[in-house]
Amino acid sequence: MKIEELNVVAIGGGHGLGRVLSTLSFLEKQLTGIVTTTDNGGSTGRLRKRSSSIAWGDLRNCLTLLVDKDSIGSQLFNFRFDGQDELGGHNLGNLILYALGQLQSRPLDSIKLVRRLLGVKTALYPMSETPTDLMGFYPKGRCKVGELSVDKMPIMPDSLLLAPLVKTLPFCVDAIASADLIILGPGSFLTSVIPPLLVRDISKAIDASSAHCVFIENLCDEESPAAALSLDEKLDWIKSNIGCLPIDSVICHDKSITSALVPVIHCDLSDGSGSHYHDRKKLLAALDLCINQFKDQTLPV
């Protein structure tokens, strides 16, 4: 069995989800991306302070990674202004999506319009159309609000919540229900992987789905308190925070990482350059290995 035969849903944020989507872009309409929208840093964070909106940065990144990087559309949406004035540091794609968000009745309409402009056939959805922020709760009653604050804490939060609580789109639930393979990660554990799982509609849909759910670990330690956790500690943390453990297997580059909770598939995923990005061909091969290893358990024959 090959991944070309499957309906795939990839969930997460940051560059990790973008890498997965670009790797699987040949699937086109068989692929769906569900994107974290809680970022409050950089250009996105400045726009969110100006007016309440979802975080557009990760959506913009995923959209541009689904098209030819040398195309005019990709170059425009990735263009970043320099200088120290009001435009300095802003990404043009974020500004366009933000402006469309002010003009359109809902974020999904803006995303559909940009997909048509860029020729993106893969469905891409925000985890929610309602603006929300990540809240981390720590020992002694401490609380931090926002992705930046959560990632900078020296210790793991006891729990994370979204404020306000939000619902996902029916399209996301339907995509998960009809998926054969669900991919979580790679990316920052607390601020890319976890936020979509805190949307109860999404975590319940994954738990109820017959699809095989695989978690892709990072190539190296991230700069967050999650770096100190073992794989099983991460899985236990997910279970205690969302009430279930929807992950069926893990793909991992580091051969020393093991688990007593789920099967771990060890594969060389490095592109050899020393970067933090997974090699696309190796990642695709790892996903094919995962599919064939577990096809008799959770994947359609």
Those residues with Cβ within 8 angstroms of residue 290's Cβ, 6 or more apart along the chain or in another chain? 212, 214, 249, 251, 265
Over pLDDT 90: what percentage of the chain? 74
Does 121 map to a domain?
yes
pLDDT higher than 60, residue 300: no
Find, among 47, 38, 121, 33, the residue nearest to 87 by Cα: 47
Q: Residue 301 has what pLDDT?
A: 45
pLDDT in tens, 130-178: 999 999 999 888 899 999 999 999 999 999 999 999 999 999 999 999 9
pLDDT in tens, 6-55: 999 999 998 899 999 999 999 999 999 999 999 998 888 888 888 788 99
Averaged pLDDT for residues 109-135: 95
**Tokens, residue 285:** 């091969």
Does 150 map to a domain?
yes
Residue 172 CA to chain centroid, in angstroms? 13
Here the CATH number for the domain that contains residue 60 is: 3.40.50.10680
Does 301 map to a domain?
no
Does 128 map to a domain?
yes
Nearest-angstrom CA–CA distance, 236 and 258:
14
Is there a contact between 65 and 21 (Cβ–Cβ < 8 Å)?
A: yes
The secondary structure element, H or E, covering residue 34 is: strand 31-35
**Tokens, residue 194:** 């976890």
**What residue numbers bound the domain in which 148 lies?**
3-294
Give the pTM: 0.94
Nearest-angstrom CA–CA distance, 202 and 205:
5
Number of domains in the chain: 1
Residue 4 DSSP one-character state = G
CA distances, 18 to each of 135, 180, 207 (Å): 24, 20, 24
Does 245 map to a domain?
yes
pLDDT in tens, 52-75: 889 999 999 999 999 988 888 888
Q: Residue 297 has what pLDDT?
A: 59
Does 299 map to a domain?
no
- pLDDT grade for 296, boundaries at 50, 70 and 90: low
Does 256 map to a domain?
yes
Does 300 map to a domain?
no
